[in-house]
Amino acid sequence: MTPPTPKIRLFVPDRLTAAARVALSRGQAHYLGHVMRLDVGDGVLLFNGRDGEWSAEVETVKKNQCQVAVLRQVRGQAAEEGPWLAFAPIKKAGTDLIVEKATELGASWLCPVFTRNTNAARVNRDRFRARAIEAAEQCQRLTVPEVAEPVTLRELTDGWPKQRRLLVLDETGAGAPIAVVLKGLRSDERDATQPCGFLSGPEGGFDASELDALRKLDFVTTVGLGPRVLRAETATLSALACWQALIGAAR
Amino acid sequence: MTPPTPKIRLFVPDRLTAAARVALSRGQAHYLGHVMRLDVGDGVLLFNGRDGEWSAEVETVKKNQCQVAVLRQVRGQAAEEGPWLAFAPIKKAGTDLIVEKATELGASWLCPVFTRNTNAARVNRDRFRARAIEAAEQCQRLTVPEVAEPVTLRELTDGWPKQRRLLVLDETGAGAPIAVVLKGLRSDERDATQPCGFLSGPEGGFDASELDALRKLDFVTTVGLGPRVLRAETATLSALACWQALIGAAR
């Protein structure tokens, strides 16, 4: 009889090879020992974004300390070329939701952007990263999206790679329907191999001057998400869900 | 000079006609008077799901009491034939998110469904309804989705109208890609005039026997949402976002 597949998945920074020993973080050790009550010999899954997914076995578990022995690779590393997401930070719960759901929906790069109507004065990258790791562990990804240093809108567009299309979620309703734009990308050979990015605005929306400037950029397409006024986080997740259904699933 | 358009939108049960007087609820009166600090003569927008959207003016505002005078219709009532959504209740925050976002994304009927792995023993319909009203007020809808009496999965399928397609969000990955299924619906004349419904499962997923039984029903199509394991609320919102982009936007 084969033992049941271990269900707990943990992201670790360490290199993963057969017979390697990995010392888990205090938080992970607490989670395994106290929350999940794992014991010596119990199995977990590990991934690091580079070496695929590995089964491992608890060797020692004490108060906030846990060492696991890496056993064998269960999935090889695969490229996970999801879309980029630049987003204006909104209220805490909404931003956390964006980071968590964007990870589930396959985004590969998350970049907080300060726009004119953005209320948040600063962001906590460590919290975003912890949220992204937790979501990646849960949704079976083999990578964790990179959480970039926050930038201003001007810095974002100045540094944007010109061959990557940037779909701006335009809450004024003036943008092209998202399904039409995504289908257009898919039929364009160059764009299909070069994933796109999305930009979502703050609670108050983009300033009219920001939208004007964005529309003048060659690599920008403004897109609309239907007749209703969506909250910032709803618009962001809708766009990523459409990307998965229309581009991600077609790969 | 025309006065600025009032921004506060309120759902009221009352009939809306020119020169009607509407006594707002205690909660609405508190919100207008204490939170938003509106005064006599300030404007609001009202809708009731039947008579379109009307501008109105505060006539009296006291401690938890507020009467407004209905002025004129600013939008006629329009049919908002969104998809139905049957969903297994999950943890409180997740279920609240489903109700709020489903309203924003255009669902017209919300039905809690108890499945084998559903942990919630009961649901609070009043809370769901309050959430749906708040989201409808915010997203400029002219209707509030109906929140149905909770049912068992068997009751749902027994009572389901056979000509309405039920797309079951199948977390096992065995379902057809959602974009393919939605495009198929759109090209089918009968289905296009008869909006579909979605069914999403609980945190633990559908039981294998439930999926087997669902797959045997003529009106059911199981659909997949990509390679990652989505949380129940993420799957639900993704499906509705795809519906809006592929069916709703094409109407």
Token pair in block for residue B106: 């255009």
Report whether B39 contacts B58 (CB < 8 A): yes
Helices B125-139, B92-104: inter-axial angle, 10-degree rounding: 40
As a whole number of angstroms, the distance between CA B224 and CA B44 comes to: 43
Q: Look up residue B46 and give its two tokens.
A: 């009202």
Distance of alpha carbon A223 from alpha carbon B147, whole angstroms:
31
Question: Are A241 and B241 a contacting pair at CB < 8 A?
Answer: yes
**Contact of A61 with A30, CB cutoff 8 Å:** no
pLDDT in tens, B173-190: 899 999 999 998 877 765
Min mean pLDDT across A77-81, A146-150, A242-246, B29-33 is at A77-81
| CA separation for the pair A144, A110 (Å, rounded) | 10
In chain A, the residue whose alpha carbon lies closest to the alpha carbon of B203 is: A138
The size of the A-B interface in CB pairs under 8 A is 101
- Residues 34-73 in A contacting B (C-alpha not used; CB under 8 Å): none
Structure tokens at A246: 């229309």
Strands B146-147 and B109-114, how do they pair? parallel
The full set of domains in chain B, from first to last, is: 9-75 (2.40.240.20), 84-250 (3.40.1280.10)
Phi and psi torsions of A143, nearest 5°: -130, 160
ipTM of the complex: 0.92
B97 contacts on A by Cβ (under 8 Å): 97
Pairwise CB contact (< 8 Å): B138 & A249: no
| DSSP conformation class of A39 | -
Distance from CA of A76 to the nearest CA of B (A): 15
- CA-wise closest residue to B113 among B170, B237, B198: B198
The 10s digit of each residue's pLDDT in B74-86 is: 999 988 889 999 9
Name which of B199, B203, B205, B127 is nearest B157 in CA terms: B199
Instruction: Say how far apart CA A163 and CA B9 lie, in whole Å.
Output: 42
pTM of model > 0.90: yes
Residue-wise pLDDT tens digits, A215-247: 999 999 999 999 999 999 999 999 999 999 999
Q: Where are the beta strands (DSSP E) in B25-114?
A: 43-47, 53-62, 65-75, 84-87, 109-114
Closest to A55 measured CA to CA, from A9, A88, A121: A9
**A238–B contact, CB cutoff 8 A:** yes
Q: Report pLDDT digits (tens) over B107-151.
A: 999 999 999 999 988 899 999 999 999 999 999 999 999 999 999
Q: Please indicate whether, in this complex, the C-beta atoms of B226 and A246 are within 8 angstroms of each other.
A: no
